Structures are given as structure tokens and as C-alpha cells.
Amino acid sequence: MPSPADIGQFALIAALLLACLQATVPIIGAARGKSSWMAVAVSAGQWQFVAVAIAFFCLAYSFVTNDFSVLNVASNSNSQLPLNYRIAATWGSHEGSLLLWTFMLAFWTAAVSRFTRHLPNTTVARVLGVMGIVSTGFLLFMLTTSNPFTRLVPAPLDGRDLNPLLQDPGMVVHPPMLYMGYVGFSVAFAFAVAALIGGRLDVAWARWSRPWTLIAWTFLTCGIAMGSYWSYYVQGWGGWWFWDPVENASFMPWLVGTALIHSLAVTEKRGAFKSWTVLLAIAAFSLSLLGTFLVRSGVLTSVHAFATDPKRGVFILCFLSIVIGGSLLLYAWRAAQVGLGSPFELISRESFLLSNNVLLAVAAASVLLGTMYPLVIDALNLGKLSAGPPYFNTIFAAVMTPAVFLIGVGPIARWKRASLPELAHRLGWAFAVSVIGALAIPFTTELKPLVRLGLLLAIWIAATGALGLCGKLKGARLKSLPRGYYGMQVAHLGVAVVIVGITVVTGYESEKNLRMNPGESVQVGGYDFRFIGVTNVFGPNYEAVRAEMAVFRNGSLILRMHPEKRTDIVSGNSLTSAAIDSGVFRDLYVALGEPADQSGAWSVRIQYKPFVDWIWAGAILMALGGALALTDRRYVTATKKQRAAREAA
Amino acid sequence: MKRRHRRIIFVLLGFCSLSIAAALALNAFNKNLVFYFTPSQVTAKEAPIGRDFRLGGLVVEGSLQRDNDGLTTRFTVTDTASSLDVVYRGILPDLFKEGRGCVAQGKIAADGVFHADQVLAKHDENYMPPGTK
């Protein structure tokens, strides 16, 4: 009987053949108007999904059963590793994460083939064909340079463990979430390219790709928020965003994706900025691809990774230039034909949304500059450097302030033509409320202008949101408003909550790094921390030193915190497991450093982080808004109609 | 005619604000670029004085010392050709070990010692800040 790894290998090859079929036949068929050729798209796509799913589960099975004859398993797992992390280790390596990526792409392909039966055949054939091209690229890359099923002969008795930093519940859910989002943009991309190939870009195109883009964006939002929370509690520094290239890689598609869902809405409702929307759809997916390869190719480790495995680097460059360059060329060729769409006045909802879009694009471009410039300079051997967080922070404060201001104006302004005096009249009160609120909310005696600006913007979003809702509700019932409208309100409120979190925690957090003797106390952020001492404890695959810290507020004990310093038994690597007490208005964060001497004293890091949880709560609100918009009647009835049409046929 | 004028003014305004924004962004970018140097380059006086930079290399075996406050650490970073003493007050990252690579960010003080405000470690199994190898 063949081993699962062999079956997986075979399934990958089968998937590649199916993907090739899916990438060529339907597109040619659509060009020549042959419906039998076009029909290949659906079945090839669905069978490709089956094949990739088999490969994926074979790899997961190899991990679960500790089959160390597979190189990937031997390098990233260990028989001592708990089951959930053995499953997570499936996507813990370069090869495995590529397989997860391809699996997600196949999943989206299958979903598109299943839920687009009401669309014209040529559109479906082209969309699936474009997805097939991307899939072919990934499968080819995997099979030629990064095969997850490479065998190791003779098989070692046990594996080198999974990196202890990755042994965390975050690893189980974060990558799949993030990839669902990343890869989900491939659908919007495929719709855009299909429309460009067809040379027809109408309102229907925007209506079809809108829900797909929204799902992808929702997943990506969750994924990024989860990653941020994960690094907050696992890294032991108490930071929630580092402007690290890995994070930037996921943030760029998010920024462009956010612009895309807004411009798709305008294209659908008003038929305006068509070519801009197409460009955004191409950009969002291109950045997802770039991000995947940046993180996963080893380019980031050092550009010299190209030298260690030139095949990988060259393949990546070729693939990126074919997909990104090809779609941009197609765009340049066809954009004039697509047209700009309906005209609108300078003061109108369209132009507010367009300004917001441009701001988001500028933000994404500056992240791209900060991430790529050091890589390019290094590749050209001009020296080594990196862009520091202050660069990103400065840009974001500058770009996001007007963008957030426009969040308040856009939904209230009229389509096509709005008048400034009327807007000023309607928004005057909201603005006054925001200014007074931002100044009146007491925090500490210390006045921090940036915190006040953050509060002002947050209240502005909430106040204008309430104003818009009141306006809509005049003569209408609460339930009669579309779900999409509520989704927008919730997501915008999420932005307000994130802003409060970011500005307050940045302005008022306090941190102390110090050596503590058992019994010693220190005050941080109005809390007294008393270091009781340390004990030794054992986990499933690690041993740890566990400290006890008693926390007092106004002299009375409120809780005991237990930070740990773990040592992985297999690899000997140590890992700081910080103790965090989360609250609505503040987090307390205690991490152990190293033993200071033999007397039982330790170096510790104690942090007081006000409102930090609002950052993730806000992100969840945004994702909820996206999910709520997805349940909008229009999409649900579209599916029902589709079903009825099928039954009738 | 009037509408057309307004449009031209708007386009000009947009162009001006975009160029100002680009200039500001590039300025911020330029100011916050952190360069990376090896101990040899520092010895050759290629590193800037009084400006933050990143120093990368291996931590010399047996060089790690802790001051009495239990928090200040001193170690030597080498690229085998040349080496430099580093002092850091704070908690070292988990993956910091003697004989392994590290990247420290800070300045060279008048005493010729590199005062680090940040010591970096690996992020995940593939990623390292540029230069640690």
C-alpha cells in the first residue's frame, strides 16, 4: 500500500495537470465561443480542488502520524509535539504554507464554480481560467522547488521540533484565516482580468465581485487582528504592531482591499470610477502575491537567499512578473475601452470616496516603499538598511487623519452632486460635539495632543454615524434599511474603536524593566506589583520557571499573575510566556527576563497598557461589519433566485 | 467657463498637495532609515557618530556579562575580523545566545561602546532582520 506522502505527491501532480487544463481550455473556448470548451472550467476547477485537498490532508496525516520519512515532517515536527500543534505544523514551514495557500485557492475556485451559475458562461469560463493560471503557477513552484512531500532516506527516529514560537493556539487559526483573506482577493482579481479580457466592464461585473471581495476582506481583517494579538502575547514585549516586513506584507493588501470594497460599491451603485476599481482589484491581489513570496520565500531573511536557492528566487520573479506585469499590460491595453464611468461633481459622495481611496492607496504605497526599498538596495549591493517604525507612524498619522475625517463626510454627502453649505450645516453639530468631547474627556492631567486628536476623530465617526442613521430613519423603519448599511456603520464604528485604542495606549502606556528580589514591590500605572518568587513547572514538551506576581490596587490584593520562562526540551530554545490581565480599560502585562543572580532575583518587564484591547475589539467590529454586509438581502435573494432558476431548468 | 476654471484650480490644488505630501513622506523616510553596519565597518569609521544604526554580528562566546542591577548586559559582537563592545539595559530577547547572531540598534557613545536601545531576535522560523546569518 502506498504511503500517504506518495498519494499526496501524486495528487499534487494530478492537480497541476487539472490546473493547466483549467487555465487554457476555458479561456480559448470563451474567445472562440465554444460552449463545450468553456464548460471544462467548472469540472476542472472542482476536480483540482479535490486533488489539492487530498494532497493537503495527506500532508496533515503525515504530520499527525509522525511520518519522519517525509523531510518536511522531520524538520518541523516531533513525536513529543501535542496533536493540535502537529496539525498546525502542516503549515508551519515554507512548503506547507505554500500548500495551504494552494488549498485555499482551490477552495475559492470550487466556491466560485459553485456559486456563479447564474452568470454568463463566458464570464465564468474566464474567471475560472484566470484562477487556473494562478493555481498552475503555485503548483509548479511547489513541485519544482519546494515539494512538501520530499522524502528523507533513511528516516530519522524523531524530528527536529516546530519552532517554539509557533507552538501556540494562534498558529492553529491565524495562518488559515490570513490566507483565506489573501487568496480571496484572487477572485476579485480574476473577475477584473476576465472583464478586461472580455473588454466589457459593466455594473454587473461590480455586483458579482462585491460579495467575494467583502468575504476576503473580512477574513483578512480577522487574520491581521489575530496576528497582532498573537505577537502581543507571545513575543513578551507587549508591542502589538512592529512594522515588521512580515506584518507589512499582510497590511498592504488590506489597505488596498479596503479601498477596493469602497470603490466597488461606487462602481456598482453609480457606474463611476470603473478603471480605478479594476486597477485596485489587480493591485490587491498582486500585493497578496508579493506578500506571500516576501514572507515565504526567504527573500526577507536576506536577499542572498537567492544565491542559496537561485531556482526559487528566479521562479518567484518570473511568476510575479507574468501575473502582475501581464495583468497590468492587459489593463493598459484595455482601460481606455473600459472608460471612466458616469461623471460626477467635485463636491459629491463619489469624490469623497475617491479621495479616501487615494489616501488608502498612498498609505499602501508608503508601506510598500518602506518594505521594498531596503530589499532593493540590498539586492543591488548598495548597503544594508531598514525603515524604522517612526517613518510608518508619521505617514499613517498624516494620511489617516484626513481619511478618517472623510469617513464622517462621505456617507452623509449626496451622490453625484452635494453642496458644501448644506454639508457644513448638517455636520456642524457633529463636529462641535467631537471637539467638545475630545477636550472634555478626562484622562490624566497630562495633555497629549495626538491622543486628543485620536479621540476627536473617534467621536467624529460615531457622531456622524448617528447623524446618518437618524437621517435615514426619518420616515423609515429600523428593519427596512439594508443590512449593507448597518454593516458599513458597524465597520466604521470599528475604525473609531481602533483609533481610541491606538492613540490612548501609545500616549499613556507605562513600562518598567527592572531587577526584582523576592518580596520586592514596584508601582506601575497605579498598580503595585509584588514579586513573590519562582517555582519550576513542567509542560507536555517543555520545562519552565514560573513566577508569581501579586498585584495590589490601593493596598488591596486584586490578582496574582504567573509569567513563565519556558525551555523547549527538544530544541533547547527558550520562550517567554508573559502573564496578561486583560480588562476593558487596561491590560497589565508581566514578562520574565533572566535570573539576575543566584539569590532568586529576576529581571522583569512590567507594563500598564490602557485601552489596548480596543485595538482588536475594533478590528473585530470591522470584520463583523463586513459579515453583516454579506447577509444583505440583495445577496441572499440573488442566491435564492439562482436556485429557483436552476430548479426551473 | 466658470466650472472649467474651478476644475483647473482643483486639479492644481490636488497636484500641489500631492507633491507636498510626497516631499514630506520622502523626508520622513530619509530621516528614519536605519543603516546596518558590521563591526569591521565600524572600526573603519564608516558608521555614523551620534546617529542610530544597526550593528550585526555574532555574540562572542563568554563575553556576556550582567551588571549588578541585574538588567544591564554587556557583550561583544564580532564579524570575526573585528569586534565591538555593546551595552544594553533591558531584557534580552528569547533567542539571544552567545555564539549566535544578533542585531542591536543604537549609537556609539563617546567611550567607543555601542549603546543599544533595542536588541532584535528572530521573528519566525524563516525571518531574521537583515544581516543575521
State the 10-residue block means of pLDDT for chain A, 649 residues long: 87 96 93 90 95 96 92 87 90 88 95 89 93 95 90 84 77 90 94 88 85 95 93 80 86 96 90 87 93 69 47 81 92 77 78 90 91 81 80 90 91 81 86 88 74 92 90 75 90 96 91 89 92 89 90 92 87 83 92 82 91 95 94 71 62
Chain B residues touching A399 at Cβ < 8 A: 21
What's the pLDDT score for residue A318?
87
Residues of A in contact with B133 (CB under 8 A): 301-302, 304
Cα distance between residue A107 and residue A121, in whole Å: 20
- Give this prediction's pTM: 0.91
**Minimal CA separation from B69 to chain A, in Å:** 6
Does B54 reach chain A within 8 Å, measured CB to CB? yes
A346 touches B at CB < 8 Å: yes
Best of B32, B65, B73, B89 to substitute, by most chain A Cβ atoms within 10 angstroms, is: B32
Residue A273 gets the label, from left (phi > 0), alpha (psi -120 to 50) or beta, of left
State how far the alpha carbon of A558 is from the alpha carbons of A238, A522, A548, A555, in Å. Answer: 21, 15, 13, 9
Strand partners, B36: A384, B54
- Residue A425: CB atoms within 10 A of its CB come to 10
CATH match for B35-120 among 2.60.120.560, 3.40.50.720, 2.40.50.140, 3.40.50.1820: 2.40.50.140
| Cell numbers at A389, concatenated | 517604525
Ordered strands of the A579-582 beta sheet: A510-516, A602-610, A586-595, A579-582
Out of B24, B92, B125, the one facing A166 most closely (by C-beta) is: B125
**Residue among A638, A495, A624 nearest A217 (CA):** A624
Q: Which of A345-354, A501-510, B5-14, B90-99 has the highest mean predicted lDDT (pLDDT)?
A: A501-510
Min Cα–Cα distance to chain B from A597, Å: 7
Angstrom distance (rounded) from CA A418 to CA A353: 13
Residues of A in contact with B71 (CB under 8 A): 513-515, 593, 596, 603
Residues 292-331 of A with CB under 8 A from B: 295-296, 298, 300-302, 304
Cβ neighbours of A300 in B, within 8 Å: 126-128
Query: In whole angstroms, what is the distance from residue B52 CA to residue B64 CA?
Result: 23
CA distance A490 to A620: 10
As a whole number, mean pLDDT of residues B37-52 equals 84
Among B29, B37, B98, most A C-beta atoms within 10 A, so best to mutate, is: B29
Chain B residue with Cα closest to A602: B70
- The 8-class DSSP code of residue B132 comes to -
d(CA A236, CA B91): 10
**According to the model, what pLDDT value does residue A222 have?**
95
Between A245-270 and A203-234, two packed helices, what is the crossing angle to 10 degrees? 150
- CA separation for the pair A107, A180 (Å, rounded): 9
Q: Please tell me the predicted confidence (pLDDT) of residue A262.
A: 94
Residue A50 pLDDT: 97
CA A621 to chain centroid, in Å, comes to 15
pLDDT, residue A607, reads 93
Question: Quick one: cell of A391?
Answer: 517613518
Residues 1-40 of B with CB under 8 A from A: 6-7, 10, 21, 24-25, 28-29, 31-37
For A389, the closest chain B residue by CA position comes to B32
The Cα–Cα gap between A477 and A471 comes to 12
Of the candidates A521, A518, A516, the one whose C-alpha atom is nearest the C-alpha of residue A596 is: A516
In whole angstroms, give the CA distance from residue A457 to residue A450.
11
Question: How far apart (Å, rounded) are the C-alpha atoms in residues A567 and A582?
Answer: 25
A597 to B70: CB separation less than 8 angstroms, yes or no: yes
What distance, in Å, lies between the first and last C-alpha atoms of chain A?
A: 45
Chain B residues with CB-CB distance to A515 below 8 A: 69-71
Chain A residues with CB-CB distance to B24 below 8 A: 398
Smallest CA–CA distance, residue A164 to chain B, in Å, is 9
Q: Does B124 touch chain A (CB under 8 A)?
A: yes
pLDDT at B128: 38
Chain A hits for B66, CB-CB cut-off 8 Å, are 594, 596-597
List, for residues B48-84, the tens digit of each pLDDT value: 887 888 888 888 888 888 887 778 889 998 888 888 9
Q: Is B63 exposed, middle or buried (0-12, 13-18, 19+ CB in 10 A)?
A: middle
Residues of A in contact with B130 (CB under 8 A): 302, 374, 378, 384, 386
Chain B contact for A246 (CB, 8 A cutoff): yes
A605 touches chain B (CB under 8 A): yes
User: Where do the structural domains in chain B lie, given as residue ranges?
Assistant: 1-33, 35-120
Q: What integer pLDDT is reported at residue A233 of this predicted model? A: 84
Interchain pair A92, B125: CB under 8 A: yes
A298 interaction partners in chain B (CB closer than 8 Å): 126
Count of beta carbons in the 10 Å neighbourhood of residue A460: 25
Q: Where are the domains of chain A?
A: 1-167, 510-611
| Closest chain A residue to B6, measured at CA | A346
Q: How many other CB atoms are there within 10 angstroms of residue A160's CB atom?
A: 14
SS3 A256: helix
- Interface contact A575-B125, CB threshold 8 A: no
- Angstrom CA distances, A521 to A307, A527, A528, A552, A555, stand at 53, 10, 6, 10, 12
Inter-chain contact A385–B36, Cβ cutoff 8 Å? yes
**Choice between B16 and A379, residue whose per-residue pLDDT is larger:** B16
Grid cell, residue B55, equals 550593528
Residue A569 CB burial class (10 angstroms; 0-12, 13-18, ≥19): middle
Q: Residue B1: what pLDDT? A: 52
> What residues of B are in contact with residue A394 (Cβ under 8 Å)?
28, 32
